[in-house]
Structure 1
Amino acid sequence: MILDLGTGNVPKQIDADLCIVGGGVAGQMLAEVLSTPTRDVVLVESGGRDFDPSVQSLAHGHNVGMPYYDLDEARLRLFGGTAAIWGGRCAELDKIDFEKRDYLPHSGWPISKADLVPYYRKAFDRLGLKQPRAEGLWSDIGRTPPPFDPAKLDSNLWVFDEMGERFTNPDRECFSHSRILLNATVTDIDVNVQNAVQHVRVESVTGHCAKISAKVFVLAAGTIETVRLLMGAVGNRPDGLGNDRDLLGRFFMEHPHARGGEFIPNNLAKTLLALPRAIRHGGNRYAAYLRPADIVQKKKGILNSSISIAPRLREGEKMELFRSATSKLKHELPSSRFWRSSYHGLKKMAVKGLELTDPWSSILNMKLNRDKMGVFAVVRAEQAPNPDSRIMLGNGTDRLGTRQVALNWQLSEIDKHSVKVLMDTVGSEYRRLGWGDVTASSWLSETSTRWKSDPLISSHPIGGYHHMGGTRMSDSPCTGVVDKNCRLHESPNLYVASSSVFPTGGWANPTVTIVALSLRLAEHLRAVLDERPVRRTQKMDTQSQVIAQQSF
């Protein structure tokens, strides 16, 4: 059943067994798995079926730290969330990402990679993708991995989900037993003296409101919005719910992007073929990356950052027309279905061309633009957990009266140092193989520069739009906000399904891990809900029944 609070044709009181706040990837996975004819699930989404600027404006906030994207452009408010413009890059976190690293303060998850392995498998199955094996995908797709020393560099492949609108359709059969409430933004979370959530109040930008009561609540609204709700929407907890130790909102992380250095190859084709950017096999698309081997990370005390290799314009050159157009479609124009389709169409054409002609088209392009182009390392870095990098409440309020956020994004010295060591390691291996030379970017040695973004190196010049941290997972409320089952330490019935629970972020895009954690949480919640008396949907009055029937 699909209801739209924006129309006002919604009961003022809704009862359920489970209320999920957020209709993105995490929220949808939970609803899909947990909804049954006897288990009543309500999925609440701030946006509607498509982009609406009046709803999107609710995401407005202020950057008070390092330069970052405008916050109302960094996340989408519609059914499916930011996955509507997701690039589809799928990779698991590595085993080392979950471990306590002595050289890295605040590292270590309360669960291990082994705990997520079965859920990673289910995540890739649900996406219809080939899951990377521990020894890599190279042999699976009939390719030979590059001959780098595996004790120094790990070379592997990530796979792409190419179904751009996978999560934007609320009419999918998997939601047949759920109630989906669109255009409903949570503005108040009511808790009792034991910090158990009693109900949430939702409002639309058109002035309608409703109250939802449930046995269990899950915040699946994305990192920044989840923190904002816990800080500013719990009226009888003015310091925030889950903030007794001043940890709520801290440890905000991204995957910073940068130009890591230039490759000066003896054989350009060999360099580009070693780490291909577009491989098509078995219906899936793959691309290659390099990261420092675990032994190097531990020996050098560095983070788990990664690079890919690609021809790029040199610093200061003018961006190509095609890249400029696709960037504008993705980031500057309203993210309506029409514009998203235009972007996805252009992207697919570019990828298909790359698959058919690379590296020879790149080689020709570089020869024609010898002075303007080179082969560069595209950095996708891990950010160290930093308590001073945080989400806070600002002074302004949105149109529904909820306080806006202020993001103070801060990097640490180890973030840049890790990239420098990685580039030095890549250069050493490159020279050992007799392939040429590698020159690390000058900013990596500049003491006055903490980080340097570059719009010519990536379509996402600052970072991957990957928001992590803020409600970090831990065994103790002294070190985190949620426990290993993603339940708030301070609340008996409030859970979080978001990359906000990540204690560390690795280098990999977080989406597959979000799916895996959501599937793991669903298994836990199934047991929790089945222990309680099943809460049936309340009997509606005649008018509400008519409204519900019209909403199918």
Structure 2
Amino acid sequence: MYIRDNTSFQIQSPSEPKTLIVGAGFCGLAIAQALADIDGLIVVDAGSAFAEPAKWDKCAGTEPLIGEKYRARGFGGTVALWGGYVAWPEQDDIDCKKTDGSNIWPVRYSELSSWRRKAEAALGLSETADAEGIAKACGIANAIKDCGLSPRLWRFVQTSAPKRPSKSVPIFLNTVLQELIFSSDDKQVVGASIRCSEGQRHEFPIRRVILAAGGLENARILLSADQENRKRFSSWLGRGFMEHIVQEVTGLVVPNESWMGKIHKRINQNDCGEKALALALPRALREKEKLPHAILHPFYHSANGAMSLGLMAEQRPRTSNRISLINKMNDDGIPRLSISWAISPVDREYMSRSLMFFEQSLLCAGAVNRAAGKWASLCDHAFSPPWCGHHMGTTRMGSSKSNSVTNSDGQVHGVSNLFVSGSSVFPTGGWANPTLLLLALALRQASFIRNEENVGRMPPVSLLNPVR
């Protein structure tokens, strides 16, 4: 790929329909690498050659900082800022059911698992690691089992420098998608209009569009494309916005000699990055008690070395948690977002019940002590927001337009050549940080598009420069 810090937009054969990828974050770059040999492929991103936090994008709503922190535009996107933890979901995070017994996710865990290794390789993780094996290596597998709990594994991507691939796909930076142009029957995108940094607008024909601009931005683009209320898209567009909820645990003390002190110490192995463990309730208990997938982990260490615990849980999708457009523009001419997000009383109740089961298990095993005169409880930490910056669900996937925005391939219902990629398509959050799963879905989507084009086997994708 070659990168242009764009003041003038020049593409080869401008009259020929293009495959347009919107977003040069890790998701968009992975798709671009996988489709590099498709004719007429271009990538645009509103940011520069260096990812920058989203302070430029002032959001309105109940929790405006949720749209400004842990989000970036520019080459490499958010991952280029933080590197960060990656994790793989459990089977029941994907193969979960509605109350009527039907599947929530339109794709099965077994199929997604076949894309896991490719996603790990794209992030430079040279092997698949499992939580049980790491717990054994730490010498705490039996202790976790004796508590009736299960280990969960985070891995850490150690670099923030995305690779600049060599294949000749143009990436136009400082270039904003201004408009998608639809056919008269709204069943296809036929054109796109973009604006360069100096204000020039360019319009060109479209073969297909892949939105890979982030959990909030994907929905904003589609909402902007339907301001005339033509009902092109599902009523779920922008709704079902989810975060991972984070709360500090008070009332429990971790003794200095407890094995709990080992669960979050990173284990550095040069060939596969750093790893850290967390604890989860067993699946049978969660299903019986209808609990969300929550994990217990060390929150921070105080100056005297005492460990504080935290609980991170998935959030149930609710239509009232949503993003919408307001009648104000950002400097780049894009409508601003209003974000309505809250932790519901039901979310809090489920987290409190999860904590109760954790407390019982760990107290019985002597892994923690109860603080004098206190019971375990949850509260917002003074220095951290109650969310992780994992923006999910605003263009959720599902079986039909009545319950989702896209299908299992990220294809927008009713618009044959419009695709969405990223955590915005997640219909549920599960326990895991979303990066690894969204990359697996992106590579799976790229394979679907290659099959449409009939261009053969997909090449391997590598997104990171090697760590030295």
Give TM class, smaller chain: 0.7 to 0.9
Shift of the 531–8 alpha-carbon distance from structure 1 to 2, 3 Å rule, reads closer
Q: Which has the larger radius of gyration?
A: 1
User: Which residue pairs with 1:85 in the alignment?
Assistant: 81
Higher helix share: 1
Give the structure 1 partner of residue 464 of structure 2: none
Q: 2 CA distance for matches of 1:213 and 1:43?
A: 14
After TM superposition, give the deviation of residue 453 of structure 1 in Å.
2.5
Cα distance in 1 between the residues matched to 2:82 and 2:408:
27
TM-score (norm 2): 0.88
Instruction: Give, in whole Å, the separation in 1 of the partners of 2:405 and 2:432.
Output: 23
The Cα shift of 1:202 comes to 0.8
Opposite residue 335 of structure 2, the aligned amino acid is R
Equivalent in 201, 218, 221 of residue 213 of structure 2: 221
Contact 1:148–1:429 under 8 Å retained in 2: no
The answer for the alignment partner of 1:110 in structure 2 is 106
Mapped partners of 1:436, 1:10: distance in 2: 63
Structure 1 distance, partners of 2:430, 2:31, is 24
Q: Indicate yes or no: 2:7 matched with 1:7.
A: yes
Q: CA deviation at 1:394?
A: 1.1
Counterpart code for 1:472? R
Secondary structure in 2 aligned to 1:268?
Answer: coil
* Contact persistence 2:355–2:377 (CA under 8 A): no
Aligned to 2:256: 268
Counterpart in the other structure of 2:294: 305
- State the Cα distance separating 1:222 from its structure 2 match: 0.7
Quote the Cα distance in structure 1 between the aligned partners of 2:100 and 2:279.
Answer: 21
Give the aligned length. 450
Find the counterpart in structure 1 of residue 134 from structure 2. 137
Deviation at 1:277, TM superposition (A): 2.4
Aligned residue number for residue 490 of structure 1: 414
Q: In structure 1, list runs of 5 or more residues that go unmatched.
A: 314-364, 368-373, 445-451, 533-552
Residue 3 of structure 1 deviates from its aligned partner by: 5.4
Question: 1:201–1:234: structure 2 CA closer, same or farther, 3 Å change rule?
Answer: farther
Q: 1:455 aligns with which of 382, 404, 415?
A: 382
Answer yes or no: is 1:366 the counterpart of 2:354: no
Quick check: 1:35–1:177 contact (8 Å CA) kept in 2? Answer: yes
Q: Is 2:132–2:141's contact at 8 Å kept on the other side of the alignment?
A: no
Q: Please tell me whether residue 177 in structure 1 is matched to residue 168 in structure 2.
A: yes
Residue 29 in 1 paired to residue 30 in 2? yes
CA offset at residue 495 of structure 1? 0.5
What stretches of structure 2 of length at least 5 have no aligned partner? 457-468
Q: State how far apart, in whole Å, the 2-side matches of 1:204 and 1:153 are.
A: 53
Does residue 1:525 correspond to 2:449, yes or no? yes
Residue pairs, 1:183-262, within 5 angstroms: 183-195=174-186, 196-234=188-226, 237-239=228-230, 241-243=232-234, 246-262=235-251
Distance in 1 (CA, whole Å) between partners of 2:197 and 2:439 is 30
Could you report, residue by residue, the CA deviation over 1:476-513 in whole angstroms, capped at 9, with x for unpaired residues? Answer: 11100100111001201101011110000112110001
d(CA) in 1 for partners of 2:397, 2:361: 37
CA displacement at 1:423 relative to structure 2: 1.8
Q: Which amino acid aligns with 1:277?
A: K
Distance 1:407 1:425, change over 3 A: same
SS in 2 for 1:392: strand
CA RMSD of aligned residues (A): 2.8
Aligned pair partner of 2:399 in 470, 475, 489: 475
Identity of aligned residues (%): 25
1:414 to 346, 350, 358: 346
Conserved? CA contact 1:230–1:240, under 8 Å: no
Q: Which digits, 9 at most, give the CA deviation of each residue in 1:138-172, with x for residues without a partner? A: 34x46442523479421132111101112xx5x43
Give me the TM-score of the superposition, normalised by structure 1. Answer: 0.75
**Does the aligned pair in 1 maintain the 2:299–2:308 contact within 8 Å?**
yes
1:513 to 437, 451, 456: 437
Q: 1:392 to 1:9 in 2, by over 3 A?
A: closer
In structure 2, the partner of 1:330 is: none
> In structure 2, do the counterparts of structure 1 residues 301 and 70 end up closer, same or farther at CA, with 3 Å as the change threshold?
closer
